[in-house]
């Protein structure tokens, strides 16, 4: 809400996670905080708050690819289903229409705002009004923020999927920036378990000058010793790591398992930028474990710190964690978070 610059009062924050509540209270000590499940709140209690906007992010695990995909049978959907029931509603979108709401669905990632982190999420914004929203495209899911141009005639132009094609982007490939391949002419060498399409996509991301470099989000010269990958992780996951450098313009989605698990939980940072990754990975499989570890250690790979992930999520510098919150707990909370800038722009889009 602060980032959106919309004048608003938060009448209540609700979460059942005690650690999340401690962090919230640490940063927003004067906001009323209810430590309970949403399904434990009566309609009367909701009405007493006299709110005119709900910002809600239901647990995503029941619907994600790496989850069990239990959908509405997953207990973690109870809070969302309860809201739909008491408003009262049946199927979400259909009931929005029945209740007179105008809405728009989105699939958005922070990369749309020039932030070097892929975190694709589904969003829906809705407003109780009779006319269509100025940017509304019924039946379509927008994959970019709408561009609305208002003239005296009040005509509006809605742009859908304005992402440039790879052929239109200014390409200045850095063969070492994606941490996986070396390209020379038409020749491509594979160093890790990735398809040629995946490698090309990463090169394109690193060449998109509309996206900032990761170095703009990194901490300074702090002691990073606790964040370096342990030898066991290096040996076991060498071929699966998504390695980025400070000059890269991309990073994969950070999940709540980051720091505890390696595969598919987020990118790791190569801090030895003068070391060419192809020299490390070439013929790696033919080496003994001791030799492998020696070569991999040359890259000086480390996890992103909680503060760095918070920076990528758009959390302001003054946002902090209580001292008793562990690094692991920080990662779990950040992995379940949303990008602040994406949400704030959606708020401005809805109320603008």
Residues labelled as active-site residues: 60
Cα separation, 327 vs 258, whole angstroms: 10
Q: Who's near 105: CB < 8 A, 6+ residues apart?
A: 93, 122, 123, 124, 140, 141, 142
Helices (H) and strands (E) in the chain, counts: 11, 10
Residue whose C-alpha is closest to residue 255's, from 319, 205, 204, 304: 304
Q: How far apart are CA 148 and CA 132, in angstroms?
A: 14
In this structure, the number of other CB atoms found within 10 A of the CB of residue 125 comes to 20
Chain mean position to CA 110: 7
- Report the alpha-carbon distance of residue 69 to residue 65 in Å, rounded: 7
13-19-25-31 Cα dihedral, nearest 10 degrees: 10
Output the six-digit token pair for 346.
Answer: 């959606």
The widest CA-to-CA distance across the chain, in whole angstroms, is 72
> Are 254 and 304 contacting, i.e. CB atoms less than 8 angstroms apart?
yes
Helical segments of 243-297, H only: 277-281, 289-297
- H-type alpha helices, 68-195: 78-86, 92-98
327-335 vs 18-27: helix axis angle to the nearest 10?
Answer: 90
CB 59 within 8 A of CB 77: yes
């Amino acid at each position: 809400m602060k980032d959106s610059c919309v004048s608003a009062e938060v009448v209540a924050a609700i979460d059942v996670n005690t650690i999340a509540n401690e962090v919230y209270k640490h940063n927003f000590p004067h906001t009323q905080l209810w430590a309970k499940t949403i399904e434990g709140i009566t309609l009367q209690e909701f009405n007493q708050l006299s709110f005119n906007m709900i910002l809600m992010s239901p647990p995503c695990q029941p619907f994600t690819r790496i989850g069990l995909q239990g959908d509405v049978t997953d207990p973690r959907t109870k809070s969302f289903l309860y809201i739909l029931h008491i408003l009262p509603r049946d199927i979400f979108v259909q009931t929005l229409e029945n209740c007179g709401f105008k809405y728009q669905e989105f699939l958005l990632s922070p990369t749309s705002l020039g932030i070097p982190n892929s975190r694709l999420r589904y969003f829906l914004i809705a407003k109780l009004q009779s006319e269509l929203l100025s940017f509304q495209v019924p039946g379509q899911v927008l994959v970019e923020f709408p561009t609305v141009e208002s003239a005296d005639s009040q005509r509006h132009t809605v742009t859908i999927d304005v992402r440039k094609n790879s052929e239109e982007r200014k390409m200045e490939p850095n063969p070492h920036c994606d941490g996986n391949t070396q390209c020379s002419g038409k020749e491509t060498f594979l160093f890790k378990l990735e398809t040629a399409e995946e490698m090309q996509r990463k090169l394109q991301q690193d060449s998109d000058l509309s996206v900032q470099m990761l170095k703009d989000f990194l901490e300074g010269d702090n002691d990073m010793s606790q964040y370096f990958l342990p030898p066991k992780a290096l040996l076991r996951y060498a071929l699966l790591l998504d390695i980025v450098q400070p000059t890269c313009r991309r990073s994969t989605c950070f999940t709540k398992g980051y720091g505890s698990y390696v595969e598919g939980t987020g990118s790791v940072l190569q801090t030895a930028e003068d070391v060419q990754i192809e020299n490390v990975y070439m013929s790696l499989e033919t080496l003994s474990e001791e030799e492998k570890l020696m070569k991999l250690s040359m890259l000086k790979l480390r996890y992103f710190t909680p503060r760095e992930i918070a920076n990528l999520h758009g959390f302001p510098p003054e946002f902090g964690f209580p001292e008793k919150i562990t690094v692991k707990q920080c990662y779990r909370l950040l992995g379940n978070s949303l990008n602040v800038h994406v949400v704030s722009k959606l708020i401005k889009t809805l109320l603008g």
